[in-house]
Structures are given as structure tokens and as C-alpha cells.
Amino acid sequence: MSLRNALLVKLLDGEATGYELAGRFGTSAANYWSVRPAQLYAELTRMEEDGLVAAETVVQSKRPNKRLFSLTAAGIGELQRYAREPSGRMSVKDELMIKVAGIDVSDRAALLGDIARRRQASVDMLRSYEATRQDMLDGRDEETFVQTAPRIGPYLTLLRGIASERGTIAWCDTAARIIAERHNRADTQEHPITA
């Protein structure tokens, strides 16, 4: 039931519609959890039934009506209970790595393109994370922020995201370099595995 708790945490940032929550996952939680809207609306309905969130329907004239969700005391209680359980391991699923692991039997050029796209996605994400960080710090240095801000949780996960995107960019560069190094040599000397 991690999705539940991920939603509860996102609601600490303030009440939101399902649509807005989906957006919050896309921008600031993408480095540790992901959801599709379809799953999210279903889960929010169940959470309301269980009393973890309160939903208020806001009637709108120019747009479809929306449901604004907010945390209940029971919701915060559930989050606290969850936080006391030991965490499972991080789970990563990355198609690109499957393909790279098999590069010696596959199309090198296609994979280099894939790696370049991944790199660009990380550059964009990093830029966005760093802008968010500046917004949070709001001119203060980190020490001051850490000691005075109302919350540090989102800052800590943001640091994780920043480090992770930097790591991805560095890996993409290294991988592209190594693939090129081997390819140059391979013009004169062939490698056995070609299927």
C-alpha cells in the first residue's frame, strides 16, 4: 500500500484534485514513485472510503466539477504508522539497461540514440529540479533553510532527485565514450558475438 502513502505525503503540500496530484507526481516525485491518473482516481476513492482523505466537491461553471482532497487526522496517523515500518528495497525498472546489457548482439547505433535521448531527459529534469531547489531556498543558504523551513522532507527527496539525474547524465557520457572506443577498434579487429 505504498501508493496510498505516497498520495498522503503529496497532500502534505496542500489540498489538491486528482489531476493536480498526478502533476505533482510528474514533476517532483518522479524520482521515487510514479502513477497514472486512472490508478490515482481509483485509489483516492478508496482512501476516502477509508477516511484517510476528505473530499469536497467544488462546482465549476466553465469546467467539469472537481473534487478537492485534503488530509484527515486518520490520514496523517496512517502515514506515521507506515513510516515506523522498515522500508523494503528500492525497485528500479529500466528498459534501457536491458538493451544496453545486450548491446553486443544488438544494433549499436539505435542504442546510442536511446542513450542520447535518456541523457537529454535527465538534463531537462535536472534543470527543473534545480529551479525547484532555488524556489525552496528562496535566497537562504542551505543551513539557514534547514533550520528554519517548516518542512525539510521535500528538500531531502529533491536532493536525491538531483543526485540521481546527475548520475544518469554522467553514466550516459561514460557509456557513449566506451561504446565509441570499442567501435573504433572494432573496425580493424572483429568481435566474435554477432549472433
Partner DNA sequence: GTGCTCATGTAAGGTGTTACATGATTGG
Partner DNA sequence: CCAATCATGTAACACCTTACATGAGCAC
Which single residue is written with the C-alpha cell 542504442? 111
Q: For residues 31 and 34, what is the distance between their CA atoms, to the nearest angstrom?
A: 8
HSE value, Cβ hemisphere, 13 Å, CA-based, for 171: 13
- Stretch near its own copies under the rule CB under 8 A, chosen from 42-50, 57-65, 115-123, 133-141: 115-123
Q: Which residue, 61 or 188, is less far from its own copies as judged by CB?
A: 188
**At its nearest, how many Å lie between its own copies and the CB of residue 194?**
10
Query: At 71, which helix (H) or strand (E)?
Result: strand 66-71
CB 69 within 8 A of CB 18: yes
Site for DNA in 19-78 (CB under 7 A): 19-20, 23, 34-39, 41-42, 44-45, 60, 62-67
If you write DSSP's letter for every residue of 51-65 in order, what string do you get? Answer: TSEEEEEE--SSS--
Q: Does 114 bind its own copies (CB under 8 A)?
A: yes
Q: Does 110 bind its own copies (CB under 8 A)?
A: yes
- Stretch near DNA under the rule CB under 7 A, chosen from 14-22, 74-82, 107-115, 185-193: 14-22
Q: Which amino acid is at 55?
A: A
Site for DNA, rule CB under 7 A: 1-3, 17-20, 23, 34-39, 41-42, 44-45, 60, 62-67, 91, 93
